[in-house]
Amino acid sequence: MEKDGLVIVYTGNGKGKTTAALGMVLRAVGYNLKICMIQFIKGSWHYGELDSSKRLEPEFELITAGKGFVGIIDDKSPREEHERMAQEALRISKEKIQSGKYDIIILDEVNYAINLDLIDVNDVLDLINSKPSNLNLVLTGNYVKPKIVEASDLVTEMNEIKHPFKSGIKAKRGIDF
């Protein structure tokens, strides 16, 4: 039996999870597929894809729903604010998934939002289980929950062997953001 839409996960501690999802976008736009990426955690830094995504419109739509990084780096907002934003990202995701308008929907950093208890893993499982059968759903972020792995078709773990951050090299424009 051939499955129409896959559930794909990019997880692990190595770099490349969001990059892999964006690579898929580039490939899919080549076939005029409709793609929506909803970012769950990002929001306070500027990322190159916020601008380049406009060149891939109307096939590609990027929605920044999250708010900074919870508890790390540049986080100045209270936890309730993060919760509210993550719940809002979940609501938007549900709406987009059920609209039936997309070939691929990417929930970027959603695994972090689950792991930080900003959203409930069961709510994400409901999204997976109620998606249109031909929709490809991509979930990124480290610390993927076993329940999500079980509900997925493709799971790739990015494994850090080396990262320049560990030798004090800062995040680079066009490479990291």
One-character DSSP codes across 40-90: SS--SS--THHHHHHHTTTTEEEEE---S-TTSTT--S-HHHHHHHHHHHH
Sequence-distant (≥ 6) Cβ neighbours of residue 31 within 8 angstroms: none
**Contact call for residue 18 and Mg ion (CB under 5 A):** yes
* Binding at 143: pick from Mg ion, ligand ATP, none (beta carbon under 5-8 Å per type): none
Residue 156 site contact among ligand ATP, Mg ion, none (CB < 5 to 8 Å, cut-off depends on kind): none
- Partner whose binding site includes residue 15, from Mg ion, ligand ATP, none (CB under 5 to 8 Å by kind): ligand ATP
Per CB under 5 A, the segment of 13-21, 53-61, 64-72, 129-137 that binds Mg ion is 13-21
Q: Where are the beta strands (DSSP E) in the chain?
A: 7-11, 35-39, 60-64, 104-108, 136-140, 154-157
Residues in contact with ligand ATP by the rule CB under 6 A: 13-19, 109, 140, 142, 158, 160, 163, 165, 171, 176-177
Q: How far is the CB of 103 from ligand ATP (least distance, A)?
A: 22
Residue 165 binding: pick among Mg ion, ligand ATP, none (C-beta 5-8 Å cut-off by kind): ligand ATP
Rounded to the nearest 5 degrees, what angle is found at the Cα of 147, between the Cα atoms of 67 and 140? 35
**Residue 33: helix, strand or coil by DSSP?**
coil
Q: Where does this chain touch Mg ion (CB under 5 A) — which range of 16-24, 49-57, 71-79, 96-104?
A: 16-24
